[in-house]
Amino acid sequence: MHINWKPHSKGPLFFLFNDKYYLQKQGTVKFDPILWEFIYDLINFLDIMLNGQDDGVMTTLYRKSCAANTILQASSFHPKHLIKNVPTGQLLRLRHLCSDFQEFVKQSCSLSILTKVLKTQRDSLLQKYSSKKLYQFPSKHSGTPLCILTFSPQLSNIKNIIKKHLPMLQTDDKLKPILGPICKFFTRKSDTLGKSLSPSVICDTKSFASNITNKSYKIGQYINSGTKNVKYLITCRNCNMQYVGQTSLSLRERIREHISDIWNKKPTNVSKHFLSCTNGNTNHFQIKVIERVTVPYRSENILQKILKQEVFWIFTLDTRLPKGLNSDFDVSCYYD
Query: For residue 172, is pLDDT > 50?
Result: yes
End-to-end CA distance of the chain: 87
Residue 132: per-residue pLDDT = 45
Are 187 and 237 in the same domain?
Answer: no
Q: Which residue has the higher pLDDT, 240 or 180?
A: 240
Q: Are strands 228-236 and 2-4 parallel, antiparallel or unpaired?
A: unpaired
Are 319 and 285 in the same domain?
Answer: yes
Q: Is residue 22 part of a domain?
A: yes
Question: End of a domain among 163, 191, 219?
Answer: 191
Question: End of a domain among 191, 223, 250?
Answer: 191
Mean pLDDT of 164-191: 84
Residue 96 binned pLDDT confidence (cut-offs 50, 70, 90): confident
Mean pLDDT of the chain: 75
Query: For residue 31, is pLDDT > 60?
Result: no
Query: For residue 20, is pLDDT > 60?
Result: no
Q: Is residue 92 part of a domain?
A: no
Residue 6: per-residue pLDDT = 41
Q: Is residue 123 part of a domain?
A: no
Are 249 and 282 in the same domain?
Answer: yes
Which of the listed ranges 12-26, 110-124, 271-285 does the model predict with the highest average pLDDT? Answer: 271-285
Are 185 and 211 in the same domain?
Answer: no
Question: Three-state DSSP class for 284?
Answer: helix
Question: Three-state DSSP class for 327?
Answer: coil
Are 227 and 267 in the same domain?
Answer: yes
**pLDDT of 113-160, one tens digit each?**
666 766 777 666 655 554 444 445 455 556 678 888 888 888 889 999
Alpha-carbon 225 to chain mean position: 20
**pLDDT of 64-89, one tens digit each?**
766 566 666 777 777 878 887 887 88
Q: Is residue 115 part of a domain?
A: no
Question: Three-state DSSP class for 227?
Answer: coil
Question: Three-state DSSP class for 137?
Answer: coil
Q: What are the two backbone dihedrals, phi and then psi, of residue 313, each rounded to the nearest 5 degrees?
A: -75, -25
Q: At what angle do helices 269-277 and 251-263 cross, to 10 degrees?
A: 50
Beta bridge partners of 285: 236
Return d(Cα 326, Cα 334) in angstroms, integer: 14
Are 235 and 313 in the same domain?
Answer: yes
In sequence order, what DSSP letters do the residues of 19-52 get, joined into one string?
A: TEEEETTT-S-EE-TTTEEEETTEEEETTEEEEE
Contacts of 252 (CB under 8 A, 6+ apart): 225, 226
Cβ neighbours, 10 Å, residue 145: 15
Q: Is residue 33 part of a domain?
A: yes
Residue 262 binned pLDDT confidence (cut-offs 50, 70, 90): very high
Alpha-carbon 301 to chain mean position: 38
Mean pLDDT of 209-224: 89
Question: End of a domain among 14, 39, 61?
Answer: 61
Here the CATH number for the domain that contains residue 290 is 3.40.1440.10
Positions of E strands within 112-171: 146-150
Residue 244: per-residue pLDDT = 93
Q: Which residue has the higher pLDDT, 108 or 307?
A: 307
CB 260 within 8 A of CB 190: no
Q: Is residue 17 part of a domain?
A: yes
Q: Is residue 183 part of a domain?
A: yes
Return d(Cα 219, Cα 201) in angstroms, integer: 20
Are 213 and 328 in the same domain?
Answer: yes
Are 185 and 267 in the same domain?
Answer: no
Residue 8: per-residue pLDDT = 41
Query: For residue 27, is pLDDT > 50?
Result: no
Residue 198: per-residue pLDDT = 60
Return d(Cα 154, Cα 160) in angstroms, integer: 10
**pLDDT of 319-329, one tens digit each?**
988 888 988 66
Are 219 and 273 in the same domain?
Answer: yes
Residue 128: per-residue pLDDT = 52
Are 26 and 50 in the same domain?
Answer: yes
Alpha-carbon 228 to chain mean position: 25
Q: Is residue 140 part of a domain?
A: no
Residue 297: per-residue pLDDT = 56
Return d(Cα 243, Cα 326) in angstroms, integer: 6
Are 267 and 324 in the same domain?
Answer: yes
Are 313 and 266 in the same domain?
Answer: yes
Query: What domain range includes position 287?
Result: 207-332
**pLDDT of 33-69, one tens digit each?**
434 444 456 777 777 787 777 777 778 887 776 656 6
Residue 272: per-residue pLDDT = 92
How many structural domains comprise the chain? Answer: 3
**pLDDT of 280-317, one tens digit each?**
888 889 899 999 888 765 555 777 788 888 888 998 99
